[in-house]
Structure 1
Amino acid sequence: MSDTTGRVRELNLYRHYFDLVASGTKTIEVRVKYPHLADLAAGDSIRFRIKDTDKTCEVKVERVTEYPDFEALLDGEGPTNVNPTASRDEQLANIRAIYPSEKEALGVLAIRIGLIN
């Protein structure tokens, strides 16, 4: 029997989203259900990094909820928790610009996060 809690994942974020996470105003991270994230669970930590920099921010995973698509995720989690600086429609367009439809078809994850001080 193995203990699967307390793992630390390292993920990249665009600077704008990183700043929202680091300030505590972004509490839901959106990701596609790639195989390496399929076992992400409450109790894990994520160390976000702005790509090609040494700037990091660590958060604790409080909850992971799977949704069939980005629209359902935004409706279920509330757009202001995902990005308080953009409307729902803007967020949907931005997310789909990052993740094309074939990635969205894998399923999407809403990861509830809290800053680790």
Structure 2
Amino acid sequence: MEKEITITINIKSNNIPIEYSDGNTHIVGLMDKPFGAIKSGKKTVEIRANSDERPFDYSTVKANHTLRFINEESGESMDTRVVRVTHYPNVKALFETEGTEKTLSVPWSVEQGIQLIHSFTGYKECIEKHGVYAIEIWVI
């Protein structure tokens, strides 16, 4: 199966491919703080949204797939096993069901969490159009 690389990031002068799938392994970038929270086991639900500018489709991620995170600062990678994927119409519904303790790398209220997620460039508009995914994971 041929890899279709959609996005690359530059880490320590190296272009690293992210946001692509290789069979049942999905590779995505992640900022340092949430990467550490997942690695420590504190954060067990990753929040992702589809975008018209970034063609990666999170509806292709299924239970028992591997979600490989690439730390966008250090380049370190970490494999996780997908336990379940739940689609929500908006971030408020996601946080009201999933809570913020296992979905964010900091213990914030639902309102603070919504503000955080909406602060990422383009996320608010993408979520309004496509909804948002809660991907429960375990480090393997």
TM surpasses 0.5: yes
Residue of structure 1 aligned with 2:115, choices 93, 107, 112: 93
Q: Structure 1 stretches (4+) deviating beyond 4 angstroms?
A: none
Using the TM superposition, give the Cα deviation of residue 52 of structure 1 relative to its aligned residue in structure 2, in angstroms.
5.3
The equivalent of 1:113 in structure 2 is 137
The equivalent of 1:79 in structure 2 is 100
Q: TM-score, normalised by structure 1?
A: 0.86
Residue of structure 2 aligned with 1:8, choices 2, 8, 25: 25
By percentage of residues, which structure has more helix? Answer: 1
Query: Over residues 25-82 of structure 1, what are the superposed CA-to-partner deviations in whole Å (9 max), with x where a residue is unaligned?
Result: 1011000135521221001111101125321111000000000000000011111111
What SS does the aligned partner of 1:57 have? strand
CA distance in 2, matches of 1:90, 1:19: 20
Residues matched between the structures, number: 111
Cα 1:75/1:27, change in 2 over 3 Å: same
The equivalent of 1:31 in structure 2 is 48
Higher relative contact order (CA 8 A, sep 6+): 1
State the percentage of identical aligned residues: 27
Residue of structure 1 aligned with 2:35, choices 11, 15, 18: 18
Question: Between Structure 1 and Structure 2, whose CA radius of gyration is higher?
Answer: 2
CA distance in 2, matches of 1:61, 1:41: 7
Q: TM-score, normalised by structure 2?
A: 0.73
The equivalent of 1:45 in structure 2 is 66
Query: 5+ unaligned residues in a row in structure 2: which ranges?
Result: 1-22
- Provide the aligned C-alpha RMSD in A: 1.6
Query: 5+ unaligned residues in a row in structure 1: which ranges?
Result: 1-5
